[in-house]
Amino acid sequence: MSAKPGCQFWALLLHRSTDTNKKQTEAN
């Protein structure tokens, strides 16, 4: 399974985005 660097970056970005959303939800 050879994934392009872009795919890894995208997955990381989505993961971080979800993490931030959870923190914002908890803050509210």
In the block, residue with structure tokens 């660097």: 5
pLDDT category of residue 5 using cuts at 50, 70 and 90: confident
Average pLDDT, rounded, for the chain: 79
pLDDT of residue 25: 82
pLDDT of residue 10: 84
DSSP assignment letter at 4: -
User: Is residue 15 over pLDDT 80?
Assistant: yes
How many Cα neighbours within 13 Å face the side chain of 4? 3
CA distance 26 to 20: 10
| Encoded tokens for 14 | 């989505």
SS3 9: helix
In the block, residue with structure tokens 């997955």: 11
List CB contacts of 6: < 8 A, sequence separation 6 or more. none
pTM: 0.44
